[in-house]
Amino acid sequence: MMRPWTIVAASFLTAVVGVGAAAQTPTQTQTQIQMKTATGQTGSEACSGCHSEIYQSYSKTVMAKASGLAVDGLMTGEFNDNSSGVHYRVHKQDEHVWMHYERQSEKFRGQNELLYFIGSGRKGRSYLFSVQGFLFETPINWYSQEGRWGMTPAYFEAREIPLNLPAFTDCMNCHSSGPQPPLPGMENKFAGAPFTHAGITCQRCHGAGEGHGAGTAPILESDISNDSSSPNPSSSTSSGANSANANPSGARASSSDALGADSSMVNPAKLPPDRRDGICMECHFEGTVAVNQPGKRLYQFQPGERLSDYIHYFLLSGNQPETARALSQVEALSLSECKRRSGDKMWCGSCHDPHTEPAAEKKAAYYRGKCLNCHGEQFAVKHHPDKLDCTQCHMPALPSRDVAHTESTDHRILRYPNTLPLPRLQVRGTEGAPLVSFPDKDAPLATTRDFALAWETLAQKNVEGAAHRAEQYLRKAVAERPDDPVLLAALGFVEQKHGSEKEARELYERALQIDPLANEAATDLGILEARSGNLQRAVELWLGPFKRAPYRSAIGMNLAMAFCAAGQRQVAQKYVQQVLEFNPDYLKGKQLLAHLKEEPVQCKP
C-alpha cells in the first residue's frame, strides 16, 4: 500500500525542479474483466447438492451477496457533488454499466465502465473499474439507508475527483471469495480476475474441503487437538439450551460437518476458540492498526489456521473514552458483560447463524431466544415481560456514516445504553505504552517489528507522539532484522526527514538489493538523487515504481519535471498525460501540461 510519505517526499523534488496542467476531456479505454472460476477452486454451488436447504437460505444473506459483476448489482442514479462541482451519473447501456462525470464550468467530462460491485446493498454499495488493467474503487457510493448517491467516505469535501483509489486485495477479501494475488510489485493489477467467486462462499468459513465426503481427506481434528498452544476444542464446546456456544444452526449440523477422519471441512464451532474466532475477526475486526506478518497477507488466511500467523492487531488507548460508533463488532462484543462472564464459550455464532437471516418480523423473537438461552425463561418473566425486543433496549442502532465496518448495532450489550452520559469504556494500556495487542492473549506474539510498523502507520495519521515511537522501534527492529526491506525503507525515510541523506541512501540501497520491487525505497531514493542533481539516476529509480503503480501521480509528475528540466518536452508531456489518464482531475497535472505547451516552456505547475 502506498505510504502517504511518498507524496511528502515528492515535494522535495517539486521545490528543486517544478510541477504543471490544462483542462482536458479524458476518454477511458476500459479493460473488461470477467469473473472466472479458477481450476480447482469451488464455490458454494459445490455444497448445494448435499446441503440444499442451507445453500438456499445462505444465498439470500448479505454475506452471500457481498459482491459480483456490476451488471448484476446495478443501482442507477445521479447526483451533484457541491464540493467539486461535478455531476455524476450511473447507468446501464447495452449490458454494460457506466459512471459518467462532468464539470460543466470547465467542460471537463469522462466515463468509466464499472466491472464489479462491492457491498450487499443493505448499508451501501460501491463499484470497481479498470484503467489499463489496474483496478480502482469508484469515488462515489450508493448509501442504501439514505437512499442516495454520494462521495465515498473520506472524500466528502474533495474538490478534485479521486479516480485513482486502488482496489486492494485485502479490502476485496472481505466482500469476495478466491482473492487472487496481485502481480509482482503491484497492488491492484492481476493476471486475470481479482477474485474467483462473488460474495462470501461456504469455503471462506469451512475451508476448501478437498476430498470431503470421499473418505480421502486428512484427519484435521487430531492435528489441531494435539496443538499444545491452543486449548482443546472440547474444553470450550458445550451443548444444551444454556450454552453460549450452542450451534446456532440447531439440527442442521451433523457429525459430517465437523472436522473428522473422512472430512477436511472445518466446522468453526468445533475449533479451539482462537481459531474459531479468527474466522470472524478476519473481516469483522479492524483495530486501530494492523500489521501483516513477514511474507504473509490477510487474504491467504484459511479457516482452521491461526489468524495471528498472518496479521497482528493493535488498539490505541488513551485517556479519552471510546465512542461506540468507532468500534468494530468484535471489539465491542469483547467489552460486553455477556462476553466477559461467558469467556470463550461466547462467540459470534452464539447469536448469529451465518447460514440464514431471520425475516424482519421475526428478528425480535429470534434474538430474544438467543438471550434466553443464557438468561432463562424465569428471568424473562420478571424482566419487562411487555417488551419482547431485547436488542431495542440493550443493543440499539447507532448513527453511522457508512465508514467501513463501523457499528450499526451496539454489540457492547449495555445494561443502560440510553442513559447519559454513556458508561465510560475500558481504557486499555497504560500511559507510556498505549498501543496494545488485540485480543489480549496475542500480546506475547507482538514483535519489535510489529510495534515499529504500527507506530509508523499512526505517525502517517499524525497521531501525537507516534513519529518518535516509530523511530525508536524502527531502529531496534532493523538491528534485529537487518534484511527486512520494509523496515529498511521505513527507517530510510526517517533518516531522510532528519536530513541524514547518507544514512538514508544506504538503507534504501540495502532494501532494493533484497527486494528490487520495493517501490517505496526506489521512489524515495530517487528523491535524494534528484536533490543532489543526478536526474538520470532519479529517473532510473522512478521508472519501475511508476510502471507498477502508474496511478501514483507524484511519481509521474517527478518524471515529467525531470524530463522537462532536461529539455525533453515531448517525453515530459507523455508522463503528464499518463498521470492524467489515471487521475484526470488532478489540478497540478493539468497545470503542468498547460505549461509544457507554452513558449517558452515552463517546468512548473
List, for residues 174-189, the tens digit of each pLDDT value.
999 999 999 999 999 9
Identify the residue with better confidence: 144 or 199: 199
Query: What's 191's DSSP letter?
Result: S
Q: What is the pLDDT of residue 323?
A: 54
Cell of 91: 447507468
Average confidence (pLDDT) over 537-541: 98
pLDDT tens per residue across span 410-422: 888 888 776 544 4
Confidence of residue 564 (pLDDT cuts 50, 70, 90): very high
State yes or no: pLDDT of 1 exceeds 50. Answer: no
pLDDT tens per residue across span 281-334: 999 998 889 999 999 999 999 999 999 999 999 988 754 445 555 567 888 899
- Choices 1.20.1260.10, 3.30.365.10, 1.25.40.10, 1.10.8.190: CATH for 5-23+464-596: 1.25.40.10
State yes or no: pLDDT of 466 exceeds 50. Answer: yes
Q: Where are the beta strands (DSSP E) in 96-226?
A: 96-103, 108-118, 124-131, 134-137, 140-143, 148-151, 165-166, 176-179, 195-198
pLDDT tens per residue across span 331-389: 889 989 999 999 999 999 999 999 999 999 999 999 999 999 999 988 888 888 888 89
Q: Which of 260-264, 359-363, 448-452, 491-495 has the lowest mean pLDDT?
A: 260-264
Query: What's 142's DSSP letter?
Result: E
Cell of 597: 505547451
Average pLDDT, rounded, for the chain = 83
Q: What is the pLDDT of residue 535?
A: 94
Q: What is the pLDDT of residue 329?
A: 84
Q: What is the pLDDT of residue 434?
A: 77
State yes or no: pLDDT of 463 exceeds 60. Answer: yes
pLDDT tens per residue across span 223-273: 333 343 333 333 333 333 333 444 443 333 333 333 433 357 899 999 999
For the chain, what percent of residues have pLDDT higher than 90? 66
Q: Which of 164-168, 411-415, 506-510 has the lowest mean pLDDT?
A: 411-415
State yes or no: pLDDT of 428 exceeds 50. Answer: no
pLDDT tens per residue across span 526-536: 999 999 999 99
For 291, the enclosing helix (H) or strand (E) is strand 289-292
| Strand-pair partners of 343 | none
For 93, the enclosing helix (H) or strand (E) is strand 86-93
State yes or no: pLDDT of 424 exceeds 90. Answer: no
Average confidence (pLDDT) over 40-60: 89
| Strand-pair partners of 124 | 143
407: left (phi over 0), alpha (psi -120 to 50) or beta: beta
- Residue pair 332/287 in contact (Cβ under 8 Å)? The answer is no
Q: How far apart are CA 89 and CA 411, in angstroms?
A: 37
pLDDT tens per residue across span 82-106: 999 999 999 999 999 999 999 999 8
Q: What is the pLDDT of residue 328?
A: 78
State yes or no: pLDDT of 543 exceeds 80. Answer: yes
CA distances from 35 to 116, 125, 411, 438, 500 (A): 9, 19, 35, 35, 49
Cell of 515: 527486494
Average confidence (pLDDT) over 486-490: 98
Q: What is the pLDDT of residue 173?
A: 95
- Residue pair 105/120 in contact (Cβ under 8 Å)? The answer is no
Q: What is the pLDDT of residue 39?
A: 36
Confidence of residue 145 (pLDDT cuts 50, 70, 90): confident
Q: Where are the domains of the chain?
A: 5-23+464-596, 44-201, 212-265
Q: How far apart are CA 142 and CA 148, in angstroms?
A: 6
Average confidence (pLDDT) over 134-138: 98
- Residue pair 54/252 in contact (Cβ under 8 Å)? The answer is yes
Q: Which of 39-43, 192-196, 213-217, 584-588 has the lowest mean pLDDT?
A: 213-217
Q: What is the pLDDT of residue 210?
A: 74
